[in-house]
Amino acid sequence: MIEISGLGKTFIGQDGAAVRALDDVNLTVQENEFLTVLGPSGCGKTTMLKMIAGLLPWDQGEIAIGGAPVRGPGPDRSMVFQNFALLPWATVLDNVAFGLRMRGVGKKEREERSRELISLVGLSGFESKRPGELSGGMQQRVGLARALAVEPSVLLMDEPFGAVDEQTRRLLQEELLAIWEKNRLTVVFITHSMEEAVLLGDRVVLMSARPGQISEIVPVPLERPRSSDVGGVERSSDYVNITAYLWERLREMHEERSVVAGSGPSV
Amino acid sequence: MNANTETRAPARTGWVSAAGKVNASLLSLVVAALAWEVIGRLADVPFFPPLSDVLGVLGDLITDGDIFGNLLTSLGNLALGFALSLVAGLVVGTAMGRYRRVNAALGIYVYALLTAPSLVFAPIFFSILGAGQASIVAVVFMYSAFIMIINTASAVENVSDSLIEMGRSYGAGEWQLVTRVILPAAAPMIFAGIRLGMGRAVTGMINGEMFIAVVGLGRMVTQAGKRFDGAEVLAILLVIIAVALAAIALVQFVDRKVTGWVPATSKESG
Ligand SMILES: Nc1ncnc2c1ncn2[C@@H]1O[C@H](COP(=O)(O)OP(=O)(O)OP(=O)(O)O)[C@@H](O)[C@H]1O
Ligand SMILES: [Mg+2]
């Protein structure tokens, strides 16, 4: 369980202007919940995720995982990055084994474990390829395998499928669902897509910008497993209604923002 | 899950363009050699003899065996001076690229010494270290270290934040981060600096040998110059050029071993 309370953060930009990236964010992520986070650009999604990952300090509030306060990165969490963040000089096998290696797992064991995960994400046969030889979709499979290899209890994903084409994205969504349905762990998944947020999530956290706050949490009562019949899920009235509702809310936020921007002093 | 269809063919320079490159450099060598020969014969001045004379003298130097002892001395000076600057380049450069404070503290000196004409330090070394190998090694160091420091520093600074963040998120400590993420990621750019450093090291070696301790190839050049033996000066110059090219080829060889992962297409255009 991840407990976030009163989380606040102000960035001082290079021009000296203060940006309130997060303001009084309160959120509880249940054990083994798949939580998706949706919000306009710049509302603090990445900032919040990096804080959960222990990569970024905050100004106010507290984050606790399983009751223990977060003080830095830890073996209970792993992260999947939007731009994959693979080591370009390392093979698929070495990339997947990276986290295990940092934790001092011996060569034999980490290679064995990495091979299992490579096969789980459908990349068997590509162990000795380098990232530059793979498509974006395959690179993110490597990123996912690397994250799962360390057996985290919390998986943090920052727009993991944002940089791949639509068709690959759909395949990856189905694969992620299938993997998660077999082996449930706590997932915090950031996305820009209403459809993705609803298809994958148990709940959708809707954030608003300036200051970054949680505006609403929308439960997704769609049945699981969803991976076996994604088409059916997408035709269900719950799916259709929730995505429509989310878009309505996001559109309001964009409009509010353009009104604010329009009425402000012109610089 | 079938990912087979997603492979992309690795980009490699084909044999056609590789062969084209060899031909191009061969052609340029032949043209230069011919030009040298013709101009040398036409000009008929003592300090620019035609290529054939120079090659004749070079042949004599080799058959006499005169050149080998001196060549070895020079290579020893080069190797030692370059090794020291390489270590300094990597250690100081990494520290400067990674830690803002180190950069603030050392940056000004490194830039000052990079731009200062390195030979002005020769008298200082001469008076402190004497007219021995140590002075020459010090000159080689002054010539080659700073370019490598600066290149390494900016290579390290330019490593993408997301790779570093990735490393941290998987629990990498500072040492692991530097050795397993930052240095490998910076390697291609670091090697570009090492190549420049090697070229400068050869220059430093010759200058040191000519102006401080008169030994090695530098001594041969100086002595031939005093005898107004233009052909021998140029013959030794050819040897020096060969040393420089060989040294740089060595750097490139190691570079290819270490950074073979960089796609060929982003390195060179056919
Ligand atoms: N290092 C930083 N320095 C200054 N400002 C920052 C920094 N990081 C983030 N910000 C600001 O904080 C706000 C939130 O940024 P964040 O990256 O968390 O947004 P996001 O919701 O992830 O946006 P996107 O959807 O575009 O990825 C933005 O206004 C951003 O400009
Ligand atoms: Mg973001």
- CA–CA dist B108, B104 (Å, integer): 8
Q: Are residues B73 and B149 in the same domain?
A: yes
Q: Are residues B3 and B132 in the same domain?
A: no
Q: Compute the distance from residue A191 Cα to the ligand 2 centre, in Å.
A: 9
Cβ of A126 within 8 Å of Cβ of B3? The answer is yes
How big is the A-B interface in CB pairs under 8 Å? 85
Q: Compute the distance from residue B52 Cα to the ligand 2 centre, in Å.
A: 68
Helices B66-98 and B133-157 cross at an angle (nearest 10°) of 40
Pocket test for ligand 1, best of A14, A47, A79 (most atoms within 8 A of CB): A47
Rounded to 5°, the CA angle B241-B247-B250 comes to 140
Peptide bond just before A131 cis, omega within 30 deg: no
Q: For residue A65, what are the β-bridge partners?
A: A2, A68
A57/B contact by beta carbon, under 8 A: no
Q: Are A11 and A19 in contact (CB under 8 A)?
A: yes
Q: Are residues B239 and B205 in the same domain?
A: yes
Number of domains comprising chain B: 2
Task: Encode pLDDT of B40-66 as tens digits.
Answer: 888 888 778 888 989 999 999 899 887
Whether residue B6 is predicted with pLDDT greater than 80 in this model: the reply is no
A106-115, B18-27, B198-207: which range is least confident on average? B18-27
Q: What six digits make up the tokens of A93?
A: 């096998």
Ligand 1 pocket residue status of A168, Cβ below 6 Å? no
Cβ of B261 within 8 Å of Cβ of A138? The answer is no
The domains found in chain A, sorted by start residue, are: 2-76+152-260 (3.40.50.300)
* Segments in B1-65 forming alpha helices (H): 15-43, 51-64
Mean pLDDT of chain B: 87
Q: Complex ipTM, two decimals?
A: 0.91
pLDDT > 90: percent of chain A: 88
Q: How far is CA A246 from CA A48, A160, A197, in A?
A: 20, 20, 10
| CATH code where residue B263 lies | 1.10.3720.10
Q: Are residues B105 and B2 in the same domain?
A: no
Per CB-CB distance under 8 Å, the chain B contacts of A159 are: none
Residue B236 distance to chain A (closest CA, Å): 41
Q: What's B50's DSSP letter?
A: -
pLDDT of residue B16: 57
Q: Are residues B136 and B178 in the same domain?
A: yes
Q: Are residues B35 and B107 in the same domain?
A: no
Beta-carbon contacts of A223 under 8 Å, excluding residues fewer than 6 positions away, are: none
Q: How far is CA A77 from CA A54, A157, B180, in A?
A: 9, 11, 20
The DSSP bridge pattern shows strands A154-158 and A186-191 to be parallel
Q: Are residues B155 and B240 in the same domain?
A: yes
Residue ranges making up the domain that contains B251 = 48-269
Query: Measured from the CA of A47, which atom of ligand 1 is nearest?
Result: 18
Task: Encode pLDDT of A221-257 as tens digits.
Answer: 999 999 888 899 999 999 999 999 999 999 998 887 7
Whether residue B180 is predicted with pLDDT greater than 80 in this model: the reply is yes
Q: Are residues B22 and B131 in the same domain?
A: no
Q: Are residues B73 and B27 in the same domain?
A: no
Ligand 1 pocket residue status of A47, Cβ below 6 Å? yes
Q: Which residue of A55, A77, A102 is in closest CB contact with B165?
A: A55
Beta-carbon contacts of A22 under 8 Å, excluding residues fewer than 6 positions away, are: A7, A8, A9, A44, A47, A48, A51, A58, A211, A212, A213
Place of tokens 């789980």: A120
Ligand 1 pocket residue status of A13, Cβ below 6 Å? yes
Whether residue B3 is predicted with pLDDT greater than 80 in this model: the reply is no
Task: Encode pLDDT of B156-175 as tens digits.
Answer: 999 999 999 999 999 999 99
Beta-carbon contacts of A192 under 8 Å, excluding residues fewer than 6 positions away, are: A38, A41, A159, A162
Cβ of B6 within 8 Å of Cβ of A134? The answer is yes
Q: Are residues B126 and B138 in the same domain?
A: yes
Q: Are B145 and B89 in contact (CB under 8 A)?
A: yes
Among B2, B6, B175, most A C-beta atoms within 10 A, so best to mutate, is B6
Whether residue B4 is predicted with pLDDT greater than 80 in this model: the reply is no
A55/B contact by beta carbon, under 8 A: yes
Query: Measured from the CA of A210, which atom of ligand 1 is nearest?
Result: 29
Q: Are residues B139 and B242 in the same domain?
A: yes
Query: Measured from the CA of A212, which atom of ligand 1 is nearest?
Result: 14
Going by pLDDT thresholds of 50, 70 and 90, the confidence category of residue B1 is: very low
Residue closest via CA to ligand 1's atom 17 equals A46
Q: Are residues B35 and B53 in the same domain?
A: no
Cβ of A99 within 8 Å of Cβ of B171? The answer is yes
Using a CB–CB cut-off of 8 Å, the residues of B that contact A are 1-4, 6-10, 160, 162-163, 165-172, 176, 180-181, 184-185, 187, 259, 261-263
